[in-house]
Structure 1
Amino acid sequence: MKFIGSAAKTVFYLKKIQGQYPSWRLQYKIKCKSTEIELTNLIRNSQIKRNQPVAIIAREQLSGFGQNSKTWVSPEGGIWLSAAYPIFSKEFISQIFNLSIGIKICEMLRQENINVSLKWPNDIFFGSKKLIGFLPRVITRGKEIIYVRIGLGMNILNYTPSEGISLSKVLQTKNINQHYWTAKVLKALHDSIECNNKKEYVIKSANKFLTKSFLPNGYCPHTWKIKDIDSNGNLRIQNETQLKVIGRF
C-alpha cells in the first residue's frame, strides 16, 4: 500500500524503529468525532486480514471516550488513535492483554529516560499525572479471538486537564516529532501482542512498573493499600484484616 502525507511520515519512522514491522494499514483524520467510531465503520466495510493491523489516527477528536465511557479530552497536539490487530487464535491470553500493552509502553518510554509507571489497569502516569490512557478490547468468534482493539490517547503538545501532563512538559521542550512518537506507540502495540504468550514475564514486569499510589475508586487510602497484581492480572489490595481481589471487568 502506498502511503502519503502523515501516514507516510509515521511509516518512515516505524521502519527505522522496527525494521521488519507488520504491514500496518494507517488512516489519518484531520478531525473526527471519535477514532473508535471511525475504526468500527472501517471494520464493518473492510474485513480484518491476517498480518495487517489497522489504525485510525486523528489530529483532533471531538467526542472521544475512555474507561467507563468517561470523556476523553483530545485536542490538537496529542496522539489519538484506535487500532485493530488480527489474532486468529484460541491461545491468546485476554486476561493479561491490558498489562502487556502497559508494560511495553512503559518500557518504550523508559528507554527514552522518561520514568513512567503503570496505574492499573490501563493508564500510564508520570509522577502523579496521566500521560497516556488506553482501552483494550478482545473480539471473539466462538472460542477463537479474531482480533483485539486498542483505543489510545497520548498527551504530546496538547493542553491537558489538571490531572494530566503532556510529553512536552515532561521533556521541557516543544521540539517533539509526533510522527516519531506515533511510530513508537504502534511498535509498542505490536510488541504487546508478541509477548502475550509470556505470562510470567508480563505479570512480573507489570508489578515492576505498578504505581501503588492510586487505589481504585471507592477505596479509602487511609484504610486500603495496593499489594500487587496477581497471576491472573487482577489487582490485589489489602487492609489490616482483608485481602481483596479486583478484576478489570
Structure 2
Amino acid sequence: MASAKLIGRRGADLLRRRRRQGLPLWNLRVLPVCASTETELTQWLQHRPWQGPQPRAVIARHQIRAQGQWGRVWQAPAGGVWISAALPWPSTAAAPGLLGLAVALSLAERLESEGVPIRIKWPNDLLIGDRKLAGVLPRMVHCGGHLRLARIGVGLNVMNPVPVGAVALRQVLAGGRCRPQVWTTEVLRCLERACGFALAPQALVRAVEARLWQRQVRDPATGEPWRITGLGADGALQLQQGTRTMSWTRWADARDQGL
C-alpha cells in the first residue's frame, strides 16, 4: 500500500473517504520510472493473483516504453499522469465497449468542472479541439467465462512535454491547477466513478454522444466518408452512408450491417 505521502493530501483524502464508506483501499505501487505500467501491473497480478475487491494501480513518474492500442510503444515523460489499474467491475455492465467510454466520460466531466472543453474521440481518447489530451486503454479479464476484473490504463498530459498534435493541461490551466500529483488522485477517483456510469448504459451512451469529437469519419480501408449517427447500447460507433449502415466496435473492426 502506498502511503499518503506518496500520493499527496488529496490522495490521503481519497483513502479516508474509502475507509468511511467501508470500501477496500487502493493498493498502489508508485515508481519513479519503469518500462511500462501495463507490464508492471501484469507482473504484479501474476505474482500476487487478484483476490478482489481491493483495486490496484501502478503509477509511474516516467515510462520509457509505454503501451498503447495495438501494442504501440510511446514515450511517457515526467510531468504527466501514467496509471495502469485493476479494479472490480460490475458483471451487469460487462459490455466491453462501455468500459473505456465510462472512464472517458468520468475524466471528461472532471476536466469540464475545471473549465476545460473536452471532446471524446471514440473509443478512448480525450481531445481539446483536435489535440489529444488523454488516452484510455481498457481491457476486461475473464476467468471461467465470468468477468473477473477490469484493467484500465490512463495517460493524461499535465506538465509533460507533448508531441505535435497533442496538448497538456499546463497549456489551458493555471500552474496551481495542473499539478501531476493532484491529477493522479483525480484519475483514481474517476476510475471509481466510471463503475457507476457503466451501471446506467443508456445514460452513459447519451452523455458520450453529446461529446463526440466529430460527426463524420472516413473508413480507414477505403477512405469513404460515413456519417456518425450515434453509439450502440454496447458502445459501438454507428455509421450511415445513404441506405448503408455500419457498426464499428473499434477502428480496425468495421463490418457491414446491411444495404
TM-score normalised by L of structure 2: 0.86
Instruction: Give the Å deviation of 1:176.
Output: 2.6
Q: 2:29 aligns to what? A: 27
Q: 2:12 aligns to what? A: 12
- Distance (whole Å) between structure 1 residues aligned to residue 128 and residue 30 of structure 2: 27
- Residues 216 and 223 of structure 1: is their aligned pair in 2 closer, same or farther, counting only changes over 3 Å? closer
Give the AA of the match of 2:197. Answer: C
Q: Is residue 136–residue 148 contact of structure 1 (8 Å, CA) maintained in 2?
A: yes
SS of structure 2 residue aligned to 1:206: helix
- Distance (whole Å) between structure 1 residues aligned to residue 201 and residue 123 of structure 2: 16
Name which of structure 1's ranges 210-219 and 56-65 shifts more when overlaid on structure 2.
Answer: 210-219
Corresponding residue to 2:106 among 100, 104, 107:
104
- Distance (whole Å) between structure 1 residues aligned to residue 145 and residue 245 of structure 2: 32
- Residues 220 and 158 of structure 1: is their aligned pair in 2 closer, same or farther, counting only changes over 3 Å? farther
Q: Percent identity?
A: 29
Instruction: Give the Å deviation of 1:227.
Output: 2.1
- Distance (whole Å) between structure 1 residues aligned to residue 2 and residue 94 of structure 2: 34
Query: How many aligned residue pairs are there?
Result: 248
Give the AA of the match of 2:82. Answer: W
Structure with more relative contact order (C-alpha pairs < 8 Å, separation 6 or more): 1
Give the AA of the match of 1:92. Answer: A
Instruction: Give the Å deviation of 1:2.
Output: 6.2
Q: 1:3 aligns to what? A: 3
- Distance (whole Å) between structure 2 residues aligned to residue 90 and residue 16 of structure 1: 27
Give the AA of the match of 1:93. Answer: A
- Residues 50 and 222 of structure 1: is their aligned pair in 2 closer, same or farther, counting only changes over 3 Å? closer
2:175 is aligned with 1:173:
yes
- Distance (whole Å) between structure 1 residues aligned to residue 66 and residue 2 of structure 2: 29
Q: 1:76 aligns to what? A: 78
SS of structure 1 residue aligned to 2:84: strand
- Distance (whole Å) between structure 2 residues aligned to residue 213 and residue 236 of structure 1: 11
- Distance (whole Å) between structure 1 residues aligned to residue 76 and residue 239 of structure 2: 32
In the TM superposition, what whole-angstrom CA distance separates every residue of 1:55-88 from its partner, at most 9, and x where no partner exists?
000000000121112223201110111000024x
- Distance (whole Å) between structure 2 residues aligned to residue 2 and residue 56 of structure 1: 10
Q: 1:206 aligns to what? A: 208
Instruction: Give the Å deviation of 1:103.
Output: 1.0
- Distance (whole Å) between structure 1 residues aligned to residue 53 and residue 155 of structure 2: 24
- Distance (whole Å) between structure 1 residues aligned to residue 2 and residue 38 of structure 2: 24
Q: 1:128 aligns to what? A: 130
- Residues 219 and 118 of structure 1: is their aligned pair in 2 closer, same or farther, counting only changes over 3 Å? farther
- Residues 225 and 2 of structure 1: is their aligned pair in 2 closer, same or farther, counting only changes over 3 Å? closer
Instruction: Give the Å deviation of 1:170.
Output: 1.7
Q: 1:94 aligns to what? A: 95
In the TM superposition, what whole-angstrom CA distance separates every residue of 1:37-60 from its partner, at most 9, and x where no partner exists?
110111111132323100000000
Q: Is residue 7–residue 26 contact of structure 1 (8 Å, CA) maintained in 2?
A: no
- Residues 3 and 216 of structure 1: is their aligned pair in 2 closer, same or farther, counting only changes over 3 Å? farther
Instruction: Give the Å deviation of 1:244.
Output: 1.3
- Residues 217 and 152 of structure 1: is their aligned pair in 2 closer, same or farther, counting only changes over 3 Å? farther
Give the AA of the match of 2:202. Answer: E
Instruction: Give the Å deviation of 1:214.
Output: 6.8
Name which of structure 1's ranges 13-22 and 31-40 shifts more when overlaid on structure 2.
Answer: 13-22
Q: Is residue 36–residue 63 contact of structure 2 (8 Å, CA) maintained in 1?
A: yes
Q: Is residue 13–residue 180 contact of structure 1 (8 Å, CA) maintained in 2?
A: no
Unaligned runs of 5+ in 2: 254-259
- Distance (whole Å) between structure 1 residues aligned to residue 218 and residue 191 of structure 2: 25
Q: Is residue 92–residue 145 contact of structure 1 (8 Å, CA) maintained in 2?
A: no
Give the AA of the match of 1:53. Answer: P
RMSD: 2.4
SS of structure 1 residue aligned to 2:209: helix
- Distance (whole Å) between structure 2 residues aligned to residue 103 and residue 244 of structure 1: 24
